[in-house]
Structure 1
């Protein structure tokens, strides 16, 4: 056996052994990484289940005392210990969907302007203003709504709405009411202003992700800006746009302080958007510190559980819509 052969026979086993050690080490690291990521995912599920379970446990007394009537009753009498969740649920849903109805078109317009229309020198100031609006605390929006927008609503907008929209057939009654300046419509508008930055940010980012070649091809074929947006940009990004819209809706459903200032916090059921009402979050914020009976406290915690359920249902619907859109895009 030559010296070169002896050298190779000595080196090859060492190299193979080192490669096996490195492969085993990489395998251990991958296993640790997978376990860590699995633990993080399971932690989210555990927190979700813990929150739902704790609020359900805390509201068990109210559910046991009132049964299904807790969901259908409009009565909220702290003195006599009678509680119903229909008015807070109704106020939460109405103000949130009003906010969505106002915020989505405005956010869409801002996002399209920033990505397709605005000159470069104007994009940065508007984008910065949107980010600043997103960073304002909700209590500031509530104070602004109560002391600035509320009086403006009572003196200017409410009389016009009563005289014009209130006279319309069928839908007129929902716009009739005293010019108080606070109520479901005011809360919906304030909520819309709050969620516009969030929806706008999502829409702007997803619109920017559209390949430039697609848009340039559409323009080369003679398409207008609106045609490019409607036929190219929206179909390409509709799943993400729907997700951003429902993200804003989730933000509106759980808002507390801003709604507490401008909603009126009245436990009364009214079809008029001009009338005061209450939301789940505002009732909890207003009364939890003063709940001196176990039943009252349990009713408030039960409201928290119902808010959790409502939000979960809304987000589940959003996920279902996104999955259907994804399947259609796959076809």
Structure 2
């Protein structure tokens, strides 16, 4: 028997799952192994298991579900027992409710605008002075002389001042809560900011007039040296000025802007943040390149909501601002906003002509807030690429 040959009984014996490595031999020498090694055969492919419903059937699985069968898509699907194209009763009810709710809002806005127009146009036509530019306000029946300029100026100035003070502060607080502060500090700060939104306006007004205003006299004195600027020229009412009203309004809208900014900053994709870290960015560079661009649209939305709140605020401004006999553009002077003027003169609503003058002022405020909201929506739509 030559070297390498095996006995006939071994060659004919079943290997029971052991396959020859070379030349049909079930055993092969392993180089460097110092002996003879076994190489098991790979397991045989298992037979496909058919579902229990098809056991004993000679038809393949594909025959049980033809390729041209309609897919299961939900309501109205043949697989669910509903005829194709038929809408369920629950879907019809839900569609009717949601459509009715949306339509109700639209109809309500249209009715409010229609009411303001119908009630204000006769008084505007009977006005003896220019409604938009005159500084006179004397809605006497039979001799209507009223202009919206001082009221509109005061409303816009204190609202813009509130935005200038509140928006940067709100962004800083939101970034601190979401990316800098530990949770043990971030949660109490967030709760404290949210609590500011629950304080009634009248509390803000009393606190601003009695507590905050005396402490702001020093700030007004420092800004008075900018007397060449009309906004800082006069100081005839140190504790009831537009400046004080703007500061209180900034505190009032701070929770709104902070809450929305915090929400959008928390939703920044983790991939954007990790990409900034991978590029070697510092904490501030990560915030500037990843967090702020993503949350820009949300911050703008929050700022516009805060502006709408400031424009329409009534009782707090009414308690803080002091009345003046003549109009002054200085922030250290007193005045009245459109909302506070209407609230302060409610006792004069006994004549249709006089009432129409105040309704005309309300129409201006309505248009102003509508324009602000429309501008905010336009800006947000243009910034969708960042979100």
TM-score by length of 2: 0.74
1-structure distance, mates of 2:386, 2:184: 36
Deviations 1:245-292 (A, max 9, x none): 101111111100111111224364322111111110000010012334
Shift of 1:329: 4.6
Number of aligned positions between the proteins: 308
2-structure distance, mates of 1:59, 1:85: 13
Unaligned runs of 5+ in 2: 1-76
2-structure distance, mates of 1:187, 1:268: 18
CA contact (8 A) 1:62 1:299 kept: yes
Deviations 1:185-213 (A, max 9, x none): 11111100100111000000110011223
CA contact (8 A) 1:62 1:295 kept: yes
2-structure distance, mates of 1:19, 1:109: 53
Which gives a bigger RCO, structure 1 or 2 (Cα 8 Å, sep 6+)?
Answer: 1
Q: Which has the larger radius of gyration?
A: 2
Quick check: which one's helix share is greater?
1
2:238 matches 1:175: no
CA contact (8 A) 1:73 1:84 kept: yes
TM-align CA RMSD: 2.2
Match of 1:63 among 124, 142, 145: 124
Q: Judging changes above 3 Å, is the alpha-carbon distance between structure 1 residues 267 and 281 closer, same or farther for their aligned structure 2 residues?
A: farther
2:254 matches 1:196: yes
2:127 matches 1:127: no
Shift of 1:35: 2.1
SS in 1 for 2:216: helix
Q: Judging changes above 3 Å, is the alpha-carbon distance between structure 1 residues 28 and 98 closer, same or farther for their aligned structure 2 residues?
A: same
Counterpart position of 2:172 = 109
CA contact (8 A) 1:267 1:278 kept: no
Deviates more, 1:252-261 or 1:24-33: 24-33
1-structure distance, mates of 2:326, 2:209: 20
Counterpart position of 1:262 = 320
Match of 1:304 among 362, 365, 378: 362
